[in-house]
Amino acid sequence: MKRKLPKPEPAKSRALGITTGWMVEADYTIEQVMGRGKRVAVLKPLLSAEGKTHIYTPASRAELPSAVAKLQRGDEAAIIRFAKIYGMFGFNEILPENSKLNATFGDPLAWIWSHAETLRLCLDLKEMLDCERDDSLRNRLLSLTPSDMKHQKHPSPFLKFSAGAGVVQQFFSPVSKEDDKNVVRHLTGKILATIVSKNISGIFPEMAWLESRQTFAQYFHCTALIEMAYWHVANALRGGRVRRCERPGCGGAFIQTDGRQRFCPGDQDNKLESPCAVLARVQRFRQRIQARSKKGSRFEGVASRSGSADA
């Protein structure tokens, strides 16, 4: 029996120029499968799971890049939690036609974590640019230098970053501790433009006829969810702002959609409060309780000593 797919939510993304809806299944699992001659751990939908599926519009999820960037290598449970909110990442969809795998292959975990690290770098660099932390930028670029080149006066940053279904290795212009901030910022801009450009190449324009208005409109279509994460970064590069979460223990970079945002955003379409904001509030509450407890203990100690003296 053919599964009946839910209707996509009203595409507020049309106003943003993206029409693509993305499927979220009721549950997901991680399996070991054979891929090109070796066993690979992949994320797959758990089609036997009970529960609702739904379609949403990734273009309306500005929190998507930071949500991917939070995925730490080795944490499989975090990938499952992510997929239950946002769906599959789209590995098979962005493979070249002559390299397509079986549609049931899934998203390789190593590939997901590689993109998480690449997006983390993008958000970190953009945040440093926005906050004009030029010394931090310089140190970050120098940290990308291969160890056998660190002794050179002007070493070249070497980047190994995810691009679509594969990995790109590329040298960039030399940088040194003596370079002024304009050189550092220029190189950072080139790196960001290169990474993002190579990851949004699958987003393409398409024309639509609007019968109600009797006119044409141009929209864009994406092939994979991971492309939309970089699409949001691209929007941030063109005038958006990235800042760091203020919750102690987090410090992750995220795209601000409101100048008042201080914490990593939550699930914006479902208007869920930021988990980091909730944790920060709990931490502050516990600190106040502990402070009151210590103050009470000091008072009791003073009262006890005073009573002994009176005796």
Cα torsion 61, 66, 69, 74: sign: negative
> 114, 79 in Cβ contact below 8 A?
no
Give the Cα-Cα-Cα angle 46, 50, 56 (nearest 5 degrees): 75
Q: Which tokens sit at 48?
A: 């036997």
Q: Which tokens sit at 210?
A: 């609007």
Q: Which tokens sit at 112?
A: 């997901």
Q: Looking at mean pLDDT, say which of 84-93, 165-174, 288-297 comes out highest.
A: 84-93
Using a pLDDT cut of 70, give the percent of the chain over it: 81
3-state helix, strand, coil in the chain (%, to 5): 45, 20, 40
pLDDT band at 9 (very low <50, low <70, confident <90, very high): very low
Domain boundaries, the chain: 12-295
DSSP single-letter state for residue 87: -
Backbone φ and ψ for 18, nearest 5 degrees, come out as -115, 130
- Whether residue 272 has pLDDT greater than 80: no
pLDDT band at 104 (very low <50, low <70, confident <90, very high): low
Q: Bin 211: left if φ > 0, else alpha if -120 < ψ < 50, else beta.
A: alpha
pLDDT band at 188 (very low <50, low <70, confident <90, very high): very high
pLDDT in tens, 105-142: 899 999 999 999 999 999 999 999 999 999 999 999 88
> 6, 52 in Cβ contact below 8 A?
yes
d(CA 303, CA 165): 69
pTM of the entire structure? 0.82
13: Cβ contacts below 8 Å, ≥ 6 apart: 19, 20, 57, 58, 59, 60
Q: How far is CA 46 from CA 31, 88, 104, 271, in A?
A: 10, 11, 11, 26
The pLDDT assigned to 102 comes to 62
The pLDDT assigned to 8 comes to 44
65: Cβ contacts below 8 Å, ≥ 6 apart: 119, 122, 123, 229, 230, 232, 233, 236, 254, 255
Closest-CA residue to 277 (of 254, 298, 296): 254
